[in-house]
Structure 1
Amino acid sequence: MDVKEETIMKSDDILKTTHVWYASYGSNMNPERFYCYIQGGKPEGSTKTEKGCRDHTLPVEVRTLSLPYEAYFAHYADRWGGAPVFIDPNKGDKHSFFVCYLVTMEQYLDVMAQENGLLEVESELSRLVNDQTALLKGLYGKMMNVGTMDGFPIFTFTNPKRPEVESEFPPAIPYLKTILKGLMNQCGLLEEEAADYLLSLEGVSPAYTRSELIELAVDAQEKIK
């Protein structure tokens, strides 16, 4: 695996590439949830049925990474009934877990459109790639190019501005369970480790205690079995 965080592919090359790594850090770390964005369907715990991508083909490959972008919970997502997770767009000392899916550029753009409640974003690709300040409407309106892996760019998206105060809405239990499944089954964390990771993120405490998060992790794993 050849990961180069500091190597950012040139704009012209990005516009020509057929595939990209979509680096997910929230509920999409759980493939069952993410594949609803690919093939359509209603994720467990969500109130929204996703329409899916134009191309329903599942990812070519799935990898896990730890990158120097701090994750935090903020704002409010109707589909989950609580605060969703974002990453600070600026690099920092804290690392976050990512599950990366190798998908087509078209699929990545379709996923980004669904996340932001937009019909399409393909027409905005050139602007997003060439202008680092370019934004889309929606909670996840900032596209980020965070490096390359095996010759393909690593893309993700987040909110362009981190709130100065913590959200009054804690993350919802179904949302946390979905993330916990991704942390345990894709990133290889034990139940206690996954709970501790979430507890370290802004917006989780004091709404949830460590013991409550461990209980959620255990319950999430039992449902998988």
Structure 2
Amino acid sequence: MHGTTEAMRGEQPELVWYASYGSNMDAGRLRCYLEGGTPPGGRRSCPGCRDPRPPRRTTGHQVPGGIHFATESQVWGGGRAFLDRALPGSAALRAYLVSGEQFADLVAQEMYREPGDDLDLREVLRTGVSRLGPGRYETLLRVGDLDGHPVLTFTAPFSSAEVTPVAPSAAYLRMLLAGLRDGQGWDADTAAGYLAGCPGALGHWSPADIRALATNF
């Protein structure tokens, strides 16, 4: 279990699980981040990673906490998804086994930056959290370990209680629905009910309205 030993010592691991709870739960959306391109319904093109190869493995994952929607997405319009570990319940994520370099390039693209710089992951591996900066997706979290590799994600420095909720767009919710279907194996009703209960969507989108957005179920 060489990967676990590296992570326990806080060293740079060769491979990490990137756990997405937003649009990158959809494998086609993630492919745009890896290879470059514009996802269906998106407004921005992604430059892609230095290493465009697909993930080594993919699996569904869940962690304590919840998802909330806030700020304004330049890609989708409407609120972005953020992970708040203090929310009650369980947050659904889709984990992709990628290289440390690929993870760094994914983080850069989430902040609309050009990929190309590696990340020092020692702090997040050692303490469970690392602030790269004040940006919306610059707080790295270690949310577990899986098959000898650390599970990493990123979120905002603020909690759901510290920010005004913003309803997500239909295009964004449609992408999340697809990701939950593939990542968790959920049916449309289960996925729609989950999203409708998230702060930001709650009170703006009903389960039935979100269910109506589903395609290919």
TM-score by length of 2: 0.88
- What are the ranges of 5 or more consecutive residues in structure 2 without an aligned counterpart? none
Name the residue aligned to 1:61. 57
CA contact 1:142–1:158 (8 Å) conserved in 2: yes
1:78-122: CA deviation from partner (whole Å, max 9, x where unpaired): 11111010111x355410111100000100010001001233552
Structure 1 residue 162: Cα displacement:
1.4
SS of the equivalent of 2:93 reads strand
Relative distance call for 1:133 and 1:65 in structure 2 (3 A) is closer
| TM-score where L is the length of structure 1 | 0.85
Long gaps (5+) in structure 1: none
Indicate conservation of the 8 Å contact 1:70/1:91, yes or no. yes
Cα distance between partner residues in 2 of 1:213 and 1:49: 26
- Cα displacement string for residues 29-53 of structure 1 (whole angstroms, at most 9, x for unaligned residues): 1000011111111011110000010
Residues 10 and 123 of structure 2 are in contact (CA less than 8 Å); yes or no, is this contact kept in structure 1?
A: no
Structure 1 residue 145, shift from structure 2 partner: 0.9
C-alpha distance in 2 between matches for 1:138 and 1:166:
14
TM-aligned CA distance change 1:92 to 1:9, over 3 Å = farther
- Paired residues of 2:8 and 2:125 also in contact (CA < 8 A): no
CA change 1:109–1:186 in 2 (3 A) is: same
Matches within 5 A, 1:36-47: 36-47=32-43
Task: State whether residues 37 and 114 of structure 1, in contact with CA within 8 Å, keep that contact through their aligned partners in structure 2.
Answer: yes
Residue in 2 that maps onto 1:85? 81
How far residue 137 of structure 1 moved from its aligned partner, in angstroms, is 4.3
The answer (yes or no) to whether the contact 1:9–1:148 under 8 Å persists in 2 is: no
Shift of 1:183: 0.9
Kindly indicate whether the alpha-carbon contact (under 8 Å) linking 1:116 and 1:137 is maintained by their aligned counterparts in 2. no
Aligned length: 212
Aligned counterpart for 1:145 among listed residues 128, 142, 146 = 142
Which among 145, 154, 159 is matched to residue 162 of structure 1?
A: 159
Provide the identity percentage. 32
Q: Could you tell me which residue of structure 2 aligns to residue 76 of structure 1?
A: 72
- Taking only aligned residues, the RMSD between alpha carbons, in angstroms, comes to 2.3
* Partner of residue 207 from structure 2, selected from 190, 210, 216: 210
> In 2, distance between residues paired with 1:108 and 1:61?
14
Which residue does 1:190 correspond to in 2?
A: 187
1:168 to 1:197, Cα distance in 2 relative to 1, 3 A: closer
Counterpart residue type for residue 198 of structure 1? L
Letter paired with 1:171: P
